[in-house]
Amino acid sequence: MPLELTLRKAAEEVERGDLASVLRARQRLVGLVTSYPDRVDLRERLAAVYRLLGDSAQAGRWSYLSEVRDEAEVAAFERAYRTPLARLEAMNWTGGEAAATTETARQRLVALQEAANDQLRAELLVADDRDSSWHTNVLVLIGLVIVLLCFVVGAVTLVMWAYRWFTG
């Protein structure tokens, strides 16, 4: 279905106001945002539908890049997606900051990307500190060799038992 027709149908369903129609409008808009992830206007329409449904975290998620947004909704989004990396992934923005059509959206994307990069750097530093010592690696290797030897001895024993059983 073409974009404009889908938007018109979604608007009509929102105007009806009953829960089933609003939920259908939400599904239509989710499909449009999935197809056109870098369109802030579609995100704003989806945020408005979530606002009608009373889901402030999702309204904050989809209005995060908007010029005008409700800070309580943004705070709910940030509580629901606690880390910058989780928020960046939840945004489902594919084009990078260059695809943003407004300076506000571009600035917010850059800030979120920088925070996500800082988070990843911190996680990598912690991961480096948690590397095993060479003593631990040697013990694990010895354990694996013992398990492999037990497997080989068991397999040879099983083959010899089967050979004796068949040959009688």
Alpha helices in 54-133, H assignment, sequence order: 56-63, 71-80, 84-91, 103-129
Does the structure show a pLDDT above 70 at 130? no
**125 pLDDT higher than 90:** no
Contact 77, 87 (CB under 8 A): yes
pLDDT of residue 168: 75
pLDDT of residue 123: 86
* DSSP one-letter code for 132: P
Please report the pLDDT score of residue 5 as a whole number: 93
Greatest distance between any 2 Cα atoms in the chain: 87
Mean pLDDT over all residues of the chain?
92
Nearest alpha-carbon partner for 62 in 84, 82, 39, 85:
39
Task: Tell me what pLDDT residue 133 has.
Answer: 78
pLDDT for residue 37: 92
- Residues 71-124: pLDDT tens digits? 999 999 999 999 999 999 999 998 888 888 899 999 999 999 999 999 999 888
Look at the alpha carbons of 96, 102, 107, 112 in this order and tell me if their dihedral is positive or negative. Answer: negative
